[in-house]
Amino acid sequence: MSYTSGETLADIDSLSREPEPAQKERAPGVLSLLGRTLLLGSEPYTAVRDGEKPARRGFVILLVIIGLVVLAQWIGYWLGALTAPRLGSLQSLLYNAVIGLPWYTEQVQLNPTFATQFQQGYLVAWEGLRALLGYPTVTATGVTVILVILATLLNWFVFAVLAHWLARWYGSSARFEQTLGVLALAYAPLLLRTVEIVPGAVAPTMLIFLLMLATKHQALKTVHGLGAVATLSVLLAPYLIVLVVLAVALLNGGAYGLAQNPTINQALQVQQFLSQ
């Protein structure tokens, strides 16, 4: 009797206990998402789309991509500077030879600021020569880094705005923050530029562009769930819109520049007078 009662009480106690909540599945890390994106898998896009605050997560993903590319650029510059032939001695030798010429002395006497202007121009010329010959320079590397940061962030946001607007026109119900977050993963092919950590190595631009078209197509398909034709239209239309805007801006700028020409300006005024 006591055994049965104890067993019954144990059963009641086990039933009265609330089931332990299942552990929440941990979100995959950024590097894991990027790796699977480069393998052209669809799971990373779904994880970001269905996760919390997809826009903020996408921004973090994009910062990681940019950070890795920028780090590779600076390491590549450092390694290239260590292995490249030294041109500083030749640069100093030629400079000393030039400033010892009578021509240079005469120019300094005629213009006291000539020495400073010549030195600045000489340094700029050597920087250009190094860049032309493929030598690593701080200026070229810095410009490349700035362009990578600005161009990637601007391209991501503008493309997301245009693509989301077009997808909504096709009937998508996705939120804009989902579009931002998922499209950030589509810039994973930029990581191919990390090969430039090796001095002289260059990632093929066309290959990166084609891979990004594939990843953007997969991202838009995942977040908006449109058909094949609609997804392709949403993918290509932003590029077409940007090209049209640039063409119009260039044409208007060229027309404005021609209108400033005195001869053309007079011809336009005569044409306006005759048309009245």
166 vs 27: which has the higher pLDDT:
166
CA angle 56, 61, 64 (to 5 degrees): 130
Q: What is the dihedral of CA 130, 132, 134, 138, to 10 degrees?
A: 50
Quote the tokens at residue 25: 């599945």
pLDDT in tens, 16-55: 454 444 444 566 788 888 989 888 888 999 999 998 899 9
pLDDT of residue 250: 83
Quote the tokens at residue 91: 């640069």
Quote the tokens at residue 218: 């997969």
- CA 89/CA 208 separation, integer angstroms: 39
Phi, psi values for residue 222, rounded to 5°: -70, -45
Whether 123 has a pLDDT exceeding 60, the answer reads: yes
Whether 9 has a pLDDT exceeding 60, the answer reads: no
Confidence of residue 260 (pLDDT cuts 50, 70, 90): low
267 vs 45: which has the higher pLDDT:
45
Closest CA to 188 of 28, 51, 33, 73: 33
pLDDT of residue 45: 93
**Count of Cβ atoms closer than 10 Å to residue 188 Cβ:** 24
Instruction: Collapse the DSSP code of 143 into the 3-class scheme (helix H, G, I; strand E, B; otherwise coil) and give the result.
Output: helix
In sequence order, what are the residues at sequence separation of 6 or more whose Cβ sits closer than 8 angstroms to the Cβ of residue 222? Answer: 42, 45, 46, 49, 182
- The mean per-residue pLDDT over the stretch 213-236 comes to 94
- The mean per-residue pLDDT over the stretch 203-232 comes to 93
pLDDT of residue 268: 45
- CA 248/CA 102 separation, integer angstroms: 53
In contact, 156 and 183? CB cutoff 8 Å:
yes
Whether 58 has a pLDDT exceeding 80, the answer reads: yes
CA separation (Å) from 214 to 4, 59, 136, 161, 239? 67, 20, 32, 19, 14
Arithmetic mean of pLDDT over the chain: 80
Radius of gyration of the chain (CA): 31
pLDDT of residue 224: 94
pLDDT of residue 272: 47
Picking from 67-81, 191-205, 243-257, which range would have the lowest pLDDT averaged per residue? 243-257
- CA 78/CA 73 separation, integer angstroms: 9
Whether 3 has a pLDDT exceeding 80, the answer reads: no
pLDDT of residue 234: 94
- The mean per-residue pLDDT over the stretch 189-218 comes to 91
What amino acid is encoded at 119 in this protein? Q
CA separation (Å) from 34 to 28, 163, 182, 183, 185? 10, 22, 11, 12, 7
pLDDT of residue 216: 96
Confidence of residue 10 (pLDDT cuts 50, 70, 90): very low
- CA 65/CA 157 separation, integer angstroms: 15
Instruction: List the chain domain ranges.
Output: 30-84+136-226
In contact, 196 and 76? CB cutoff 8 Å:
yes
- The mean per-residue pLDDT over the stretch 227-253 comes to 89
- The mean per-residue pLDDT over the stretch 209-218 comes to 94
